[in-house]
Chain A
Amino acid sequence: MPVLKGKELRVVGFLCNWCSYGGADTAGVGRFSQPTDLRIIRVPCSGRVDPMFVVKALLGGADGVLVSGCHPRDCHYSQGNFYARRRLETLKTFLPALGIDPDRFQYTWVSASEGQRWKNVVSTFVEKVHQLGHAPRIEEAAPYLPLAEKGDTLPAPLRPLAWPAAGTLTASLEQLREKIRAALPELDCVIGWQQGFDALHATPLFMRKPEDVDKLTWGPLNVHNLATYLPQFKNRKVGVVVKGCDSRSVIELLQEKLVEPDNVRVFGMACEGVVDVERVRKAMEPAEGAACTDVAPAAVAVEGDGLAFEGDTPVRLKLADVVAEKCRTCDTPVPLLGDVVEGNASAPAGPGPDAPPSLEALDAMTPEQRRGFWRAQMDRCLRCYACRNACPMCVCRDHCIAESRDPHWTTQEGNVREKLQFQVIHALHLAGRCTECGECQRACPVNIPVLALKQWMNRSVLTLFDYRAGVDVNAVPPLLAFAVEEKNIKEHGL
């Protein structure tokens, strides 16, 4: 709907019925004059305000969004505003990732008797929004694609990535196979990796018979996070082979009761980093960048800190150059649970960089650039949902709200707004759950760095709640809990 041209901006409010809506009524009864911009949506409780409503409004053209509930401890439903505070603060710290000014979103507490305070809140907030002016629309931003031409300027890995000598590796692998063979009779199957359609690609292997176990491979080509398959085996006894990072996904799944502890056996081995196939492909391209992109080596051998490609023109690549982004900052090379073959994983050499590369790149952009960046990336997004399907925590699958009509969070329009809305849904749904396994980004057929949004979110969750997902099976994730006094959330002055 059009706003009054020149006079008003679009400001949406979500108010809880018991306190703030009453406070706005009180302000009305007191005839406290207020700016006319605000449109109020009444909800029972601030705990009913899904942060996605806010995103929906902001992506849909709102210039400002205000949420108001009862003061902490005064919630009609006793705890709603405590949950709201965590959810909304998380959102507030996330908005800049999209290039949205966090000042366009505010949440506060106003009681039913505070008519004067309500007037002040509305006036202050609307004035702020007017200072900021019309919200720039992401779909109208000038495309900005710095990563597209990005050279291989990734930081050096934290640890000296080096796979054990072939002999040692085979011995460890044989140990692992033995463990699996021993357990197989009690399990429906064990999920591992095998060589894929060519020597560069591994694919998942579902071992049911002892002879299947012979096909199990182990090495830097085992890129998939096999934990993603576990929820499909719910209620069946199943084993899974994990790398260090994958093990965190299993922990997360166990914590969320998405798999049963009694039904899953975890096998693991220390990992020295897996390759980014895309990077390998690039490295193997003829120097002039000719059209030849089909890299189908006859065989790939792991040689300590490098990979040797046999074929017409044998190549040797340094692992440090082609290793996946996540491996550069990895601090859990050894699986955190399960039946693990220790190997000789090296420890991180020192503290990692402040942010992983994709996040660092996002950090370096101005808000305007970020809007342009996501606009350009979403232009390219096919909306194939490969990112979601690869995500071990996206267990909803057929019922993902990105595709449902009830609830109907996104339309099927193929525009930037709806596609970005989906990415935000994914990131918000992963808040406090994402272990940064990077599968979403790896799976994307057009290489959109969607992981950066989750990394941003994870950083927020870490700073706000001192929490990392996938470490402790018994932890309560921060967005399913609250503290009456929040250590790291400051009251926002309004």
Chain B
Amino acid sequence: MRIGVFVCHCGSNIGGTVDVPGVAQVARAYPDVVFSSDTMYACSEPGQAAIVDAIREHALDGVVVASCTPRMHEPTFRRTVERAGLNRYMFEMANIREHVSWIGKDREANSNKAAELVRMAVEKLRLNAPLYPKSFDVTKRVLVIGGGVAGIQAALDCADGGIEVVLVERESTIGGKMAKLDKTFPTVDCSSCILGPKMVDVSQHPNIRLYAHAEVEKIGGYVGNFKVDVRRKATYVDWELCTGCGLCMEKCPSKKSPDAFNEHVGVTTSINIPFPQAIPKKAIIDPTSCRQFVKGKCGVCAKVCPTGAIRYDMEDQVVTEEVGAIITATGYDLFDYTRYAEYGGGRYPDVITSLQYERLLSASGPTGGHVKRPSDGKEPKTVVFIQCVGSRDRSVDRPYCSGFCCMYTAKQAVLTKDHIPDSRSYVFYMDIRANGKMYEEFTRRAMEEYGVQYVRGRVSMIVPQGDKYLVRGVDTLLGEQVEVPADLVVLAVGAESSHGAPQLAEKLRISYDNYGFFMESHCKLRPVETNTAGVYLAGACQGPKDIPSSVGQGSAAAAKVLGLFSRGRLESDPQISQVDVRRCVGCGKCITTCPYGAIEWMELRGEMKARVIETVCQGCGICTVTCPQGAIQLQHFTDNQILAEVNALCLS
């Protein structure tokens, strides 16, 4: 092999504390090195040109650049050597800046270390082999999981971009949390007025196939070619026939079914369309309360339905969809405040959650938009809001800030004044976090124009007294005890990951944090990508987010998918594992440990062997360590390549 070594000064960044020409000099004596030189800026135009020239002039077939971190310029130099006709994997980097010159000033030690790092790179390079990517076709369809505002935005953007969308929503209607909101901060415009038209667009878009009341059961395949099994849960109503007229709801005799859409403020009928703007606007039977199911007789809805859509014997159905990319937009759930004994642990009827309060405020809600206390239906005159319930509290393992509670509390206090002009509102808070555009102005208005009383401090206890609730706390600014007799207490419950998120992450093979929120690929630079190629994130499933950010991410994820699909074919990374079938004994240990399901069985002359599916393998190398006889080797990081580096340092 003929290796060329280029040692970079990086101006004085490296040259300042490393004897760069000296390192180049030493490198000339390393095995297979036929050329070495120092260079001022290897990555600059002339620096790269010098590498290209040297490759041609000295007929090099491998190059080592000793400079900055490969996480920065490896792609750059790979392109450089490729321009000179080398395979891009016939290249290695020695990081003598971040790992040497910048972390110590001892010139002798630094120079010696730099020379050793070059030696390691040379030894590895000597065992490198050219690798070639393979290209494959892409199914230009996208799966969007979750039909909240983020998922809706992503679906519409993709559909408008001309690709087919499969939208899977767990509930019987799309809309997510936003569909339950009354008005939205900071403009206080009506939530259903801005979301409603988008939901209708989803139902009418020719490129969108919506599966509501459905869940993703299984995901196989890889970027460009996923195969997804969707379980369409039984609704007991044939949605092809249901027109959403609502006659069944009027006649249903079972009127005590839990009303999940209204956050269990009140009850509803067993056959139900969750709200008038629901999309799809179709009825669904709750078999846990329906008399036909519980008692075995009733059948009223079947009798009244004008289109004969009722199907008591309906069963779940699994459909398979093929897609090339997946956007996950499964949103969030609310913290269960009953864990806090000081707020009554769920025993006080007039201590409610913020989302329940949204339903009380909403004209489409159970009270028709009149704010009434759940206990006695009276209009509350004194309303206390408590912020950070299940946020920023280590004692309940929720150390993070839920982001939007400060804002929606201000909004709800403002709306309270609008609904009940002679009311007084108090807000107990820890800090006000109003960092969005127009947000600070909005909370100011709540205080100044609407006279909302903000008290900085935690509530220590809520004590029922007569038909009121004494809210006790400390005002930490004044250093005083405060006690407010409230008619209604609204808890700004924090956001937590959507239930079932970790299980979905396992199916998608993406990571999630300690709290179940999905992990983006890079917190700053790759915020909507995941580490699984072809899987993207949108909305609050990645972390608590308000509507503007959720929508922004929905569009961003759609743009990523459209970008991915704009290429006719995709290339697979050749840094993947490969099985030496002669060595493989077919024990399947690698198949057990591969986190991506990238290894499958194949039969070879009557014997079972392992085979890596090139497009699925992500190149982690877990399998390589698992296989006792080293039959499966991660290309570019083979045992021998890493051993060469170890041996360069140790043995001699």
Seen from chain A, the residues whose Cβ lies within 8 Å of a Cβ on chain B are 1, 4, 7-8, 10, 12, 17, 21-22, 24-25, 27-29, 31-36, 39-45, 47-51, 53, 56-57, 60-62, 73-80, 83, 87, 113, 119, 231, 234-235, 256-258, 395-396, 399-401, 404, 406-409, 429, 476, 479-481
Given known pairs A258-B587, A395-B585, the reply for A79 and B622 (CB within 8 Å) is yes
Task: Please name 29 pairs of A and B residues whose Cβ atoms are closer than 8 Å in the assembled complex, sorted by A.
Answer: A1-B649, A1-B652, A24-B99, A25-B69, A25-B71, A31-B103, A36-B100, A39-B117, A45-B620, A48-B634, A48-B637, A48-B642, A53-B643, A56-B647, A74-B519, A77-B595, A77-B618, A77-B622, A78-B509, A83-B622, A87-B625, A113-B523, A234-B607, A235-B607, A257-B586, A396-B628, A407-B633, A407-B638, A409-B643
Residue from B69, B513, B596, B606 in contact with A73 in the complex, judged by beta carbons closer than 8 Å: B513
Report the Cα distance A255→B148, complex, angstroms: 46
Residues of B within 8 A of A79 (CB): 595, 622
Residues of B within 8 A of A47 (CB): 620-622, 625
Bitwise, B612-652 to A at CB < 8 A (1) or not (0) is: 00000011111011101111011001111011011111111
* CB-nearest residue of chain B to A83: B622
* CB-nearest residue of chain A to B651: A60
* CB-nearest residue of chain A to B98: A28
**B interface residue count range (under 10 / 10 to 19 / 20 to 34 / 35 or more):** 35 or more
B291 at the interface (CB under 8 A from A): no
A8 touches B647 (CB 8 A): no
In the complex, what's the smallest C-beta–C-beta distance from B609 to chain A, in angstroms?
Answer: 12
Stretch of B107-115, B199-207, B445-453, B488-496 contacting A (4+ beta carbons < 8 Å): B107-115
Given known pairs A4-B112, A40-B95, A56-B646, the reply for A50 and B514 (CB within 8 Å) is no
Report the Cα distance A34→B105, complex, angstroms: 10
In the complex, what's the smallest C-beta–C-beta distance from B632 to chain A, in angstroms?
Answer: 11
Starting from the known contacts A80-B622, A257-B586, 13 additional A-B residue pairs (CB-CB under 8 Å) come to A12-B646, A33-B103, A36-B104, A40-B95, A47-B625, A48-B621, A53-B642, A53-B643, A77-B618, A87-B625, A396-B628, A396-B629, A404-B583
Residues of B within 8 A of A429 (CB): 628
Q: 4 shortest A-B CB distances, which residue pairs?
A: A28-B98, A60-B650, A48-B621, A407-B639
Given known pairs A12-B650, A74-B511, the reply for A48 and B103 (CB within 8 Å) is no
Report the Cα distance A76→B511, complex, angstroms: 8
Residues of A within 8 A of B513 (CB): 73-74
Seen from chain B, the residues whose Cβ lies within 8 Å of a Cβ on chain A are 69-72, 95, 97-100, 102-106, 108-110, 112-113, 116-117, 119-120, 509-514, 519, 523, 531, 575, 580, 582-583, 585-589, 592-593, 595-596, 606-607, 618-622, 624-626, 628-631, 633-634, 637-640, 642-643, 645-652
Residues of B within 8 A of A61 (CB): 650-651
Given known pairs A48-B620, A235-B606, the reply for A28 and B643 (CB within 8 Å) is no
Residues of B within 8 A of A87 (CB): 625
The DSSP consensus for interface residues of chain A is loop
Residues of A within 8 A of B100 (CB): 36
Residue from A25, A44, A476 in contact with B619 in the complex, judged by beta carbons closer than 8 Å: A44
Residues of A within 8 A of B640 (CB): 406-408
Residues of A within 8 A of B108 (CB): 4
In the complex, what's the smallest C-beta–C-beta distance from A477 to chain B, in angstroms?
Answer: 9
* CB-nearest residue of chain A to B620: A77
Residue from B511, B523, B585, B593 in contact with A78 in the complex, judged by beta carbons closer than 8 Å: B511
Report the Cα distance A231→B514, complex, angstroms: 44
Given known pairs A10-B650, A44-B621, the reply for A33 and B112 (CB within 8 Å) is no
Residues of B within 8 A of A25 (CB): 69, 71-72, 95, 98-99
Residue with the greatest number of chain A CB neighbours at <10 A, chosen from B99, B592, B621, B631: B99
In the complex, what's the smallest C-beta–C-beta distance from B203 to chain A, in angstroms?
Answer: 35
Report the Cα distance A50→B622, complex, angstroms: 9
Report the Cα distance A48→B99, complex, angstroms: 21
* CB-nearest residue of chain A to B93: A42
Residue from A31, A119, A407 in contact with B643 in the complex, judged by beta carbons closer than 8 Å: A407
Given known pairs A4-B108, A10-B650, the reply for A41 and B120 (CB within 8 Å) is yes
In the complex, what's the smallest C-beta–C-beta distance from A484 to chain B, in angstroms?
Answer: 9
B512 touches A48 (CB 8 A): no
Residues of A within 8 A of B596 (CB): 77
B642 touches A57 (CB 8 A): no
* CB-nearest residue of chain B to A56: B646
A56 touches B650 (CB 8 A): yes
A49 touches B625 (CB 8 A): yes
In the complex, what's the smallest C-beta–C-beta distance from A256 to chain B, in angstroms?
Answer: 5
Residues of A within 8 A of B587 (CB): 256-258, 395
B106 touches A36 (CB 8 A): yes
Residues of A within 8 A of B583 (CB): 396, 399, 404
* CB-nearest residue of chain A to B595: A79
A80 touches B620 (CB 8 A): yes
Residues of B within 8 A of A35 (CB): 104
B620 touches A31 (CB 8 A): no
A57 touches B649 (CB 8 A): yes
Residues of A within 8 A of B69 (CB): 21, 25, 28
Residues of B within 8 A of A479 (CB): 626
Residue from B582, B606, B642 in contact with A41 in the complex, judged by beta carbons closer than 8 Å: B642
A8 touches B109 (CB 8 A): yes
* CB-nearest residue of chain B to A34: B103
* CB-nearest residue of chain B to A111: B523
Report the Cα distance A57→B645, complex, angstroms: 10
